[in-house]
Structure 1
Amino acid sequence: MLGPLAAYDAEGTELRLGGPRQRAVLARLLVARRQVVPLPRLVADLWDGLALPGDPEGAVRTFVAALRRVLEPGRRPRTAAKVLVTEGPGYALRAAVEDVDAWRFERAARAEEGAPALVETLEGALALWRGPAYADVATAP
């Protein structure tokens, strides 16, 4: 999030997140901070003021399915997702705090350690920045 939107596997290889709308879905779910975003809210946020496709809900479901294949490549068909989950009327990204740079930054910035350790913690937090936040989806509503 702290720069162009990127995701990496356990070995550090960058994952292919897809096109702009698919990346916007991921960004929107990251902004929700593990909370469920109802499908109608996702549609409204992704096409804010723009012409809707013929089946916007179907388009979001397609983006979510593609993101799931990228984020959980070993997940077997018809098994429950653990990262990008369906819950009630929408979707949530259940990433761990340590897996999202912006969340790690916030946690480090709130650290209540002594001054020398705090400076080191904040320097590490600042090193997480790779450019403007959400750089590649900055023009998305």
Structure 2
Amino acid sequence: MLGPLAAEVGDASADLGGPRQRAVLALLLTARGETLSADRMIEDLWGNAAPPRALASLQAYVSNLRRALEPGRSPRTPARLLVSAPPGYALRLAEDAVDAWRFEASVRRADARLAADPAAARTGLDEALAWWRGEAYAEFADASWAATETTRLAELRLTARELQASATLRLGHAAEASLAAETLTRDQPLREEGWRLLALSLWAADRRAEALAALRRAAEVLADELGLDPGPGLRELESAILQGRDEVLG
């Protein structure tokens, strides 16, 4: 889901069918294994324009997807992946079978090990961020049912980039970290963590004046765009730089 919808069965790409059938699979993926009722799926897929035989169409899409995802399944053998679960359907997939789910787990692991093992955290984040092939659920950008998951994954991607920059800084690569943080502030100027990482990495690179200038820029952006003062993290960092308290670099 971290790009165009695709599925692999063994070494081959599965034929997921046309737009509506692909949407059935994507919709079930947003549920992360939870059951979606047939009525809910019809409402999400067709809205107020559901045809009289919408349920039959949904059943046909599910049948086609089952054949695509389990091509070796014997006739009349219950499906193992896309299952019937009253009052509707659910996907029964392992966490590592879906790139979005695997990405989320990798970010959690990297966050947990960042302080103790920044090298392992950085390696895991580099690998996880490389799984992105575009925007999440990109072909369903206009679908209201995809909006929450799309937003959540985009936020998680930003968090991963911030953790990646933090790990880079902890490894002593201040110049590289400052470049990554500068990109973050350009992409998301209202997120304070990018500004904090930028100032911190500049200070670590003995560029104190530039670090303070970055914090002033952050304050200006937040004031102009949101009418807010910098949060405690940015204020504390500015105070530490001015006072030369370099313990915050640890």
Q: TM-score range by the shorter chain?
A: over 0.9
Letter in 1 for 2:9: D
Match of 2:123 in 1: 120
Match of 2:133 in 1: 130
Greater share of residues in helix: 2
Structure 2: state its 5+ residue gaps.
145-250
CA distance, structure 1, for counterparts of residue 30 and residue 22 of structure 2: 12
Secondary structure of residue in 2 paired with 1:4: coil
Q: Does 1:47 align with 2:46?
A: yes
CA distance, structure 2, for counterparts of residue 106 and residue 58 of structure 1: 35
Q: What does 1:51-130 align with in structure 2 at a 5 Å threshold?
A: 51-111=49-109, 112-113=112-113, 114-130=117-133
Q: Deviations over 1:6-44 (max 9, x none)?
A: 001122x21110000000000000000011101001001
From 142, 165, 173, the equivalent of 1:139 is 142
Decide which structure has the larger Cα Rg and report it.
2
CA distance, structure 2, for counterparts of residue 133 and residue 116 of structure 1: 27
CA distance, structure 1, for counterparts of residue 47 and residue 94 of structure 2: 29
Are the aligned partners of 1:24 and 1:140 in contact in 2 as well (CA < 8 Å)? no
Q: CA deviation at 1:95?
A: 1.3
Runs (4+) off by over 4 Å = none
CA distance, structure 1, for counterparts of residue 32 and residue 58 of structure 2: 19
Between 1 and 2, higher relative CO (CA 8 Å, sep ≥ 6) is seen in 1
CA distance, structure 2, for counterparts of residue 38 and residue 10 of structure 1: 30
Structure 1: state its 5+ residue gaps.
none
Q: CA deviation at 1:137?
A: 2.5
CA distance, structure 2, for counterparts of residue 104 and residue 8 of structure 1: 15
Q: C-alpha root-mean-square deviation of aligned residues, in Å?
A: 1.0
Q: How many residues align?
A: 139
CA distance, structure 2, for counterparts of residue 139 and residue 59 of structure 1: 21
Secondary structure of residue in 1 paired with 2:9: coil
Q: TM-score, normalised by structure 2?
A: 0.54
CA distance, structure 2, for counterparts of residue 48 and residue 124 of structure 1: 38
Q: CA deviation at 1:48?
A: 2.1
Are the aligned partners of 2:36 and 2:88 in contact in 1 as well (CA < 8 Å)? yes
Q: Does 1:5 align with 2:5?
A: yes
